[in-house]
Structure 1
């Protein structure tokens, strides 16, 4: 499943990221390279699907 993540806020060394396909899902990451894994893991918990089912692209 393709997910599109976008940075909502960057403050105090932390990025808050939203996901277009899951509007209520918000994750935090310390840097941009951590975003795909953080989003995939959170989406897996939310849906009960394996992490490998998610392909995350980050929109800046």
Structure 2
């Protein structure tokens, strides 16, 4: 089934928080709506994540 002249939108929000030098946690919510004569879809998805960040120290010597 092909969707030709549909109308839709996407709304989302997210937040990240740094707990330590290398630890970041976050959450995100997305809401999708797509409407067409043959197809109407509403989807909400959410995500949580915890990430480790590894940074390379720059050599400050000249």
TM-score (normalizing by structure 2): 0.28
Kindly name which structure, 1 or 2, has the bigger radius of gyration based on alpha carbons: 2
Is the strand fraction higher in 1 or 2? 2
Between Structure 1 and Structure 2, the one with more helix by share is 1
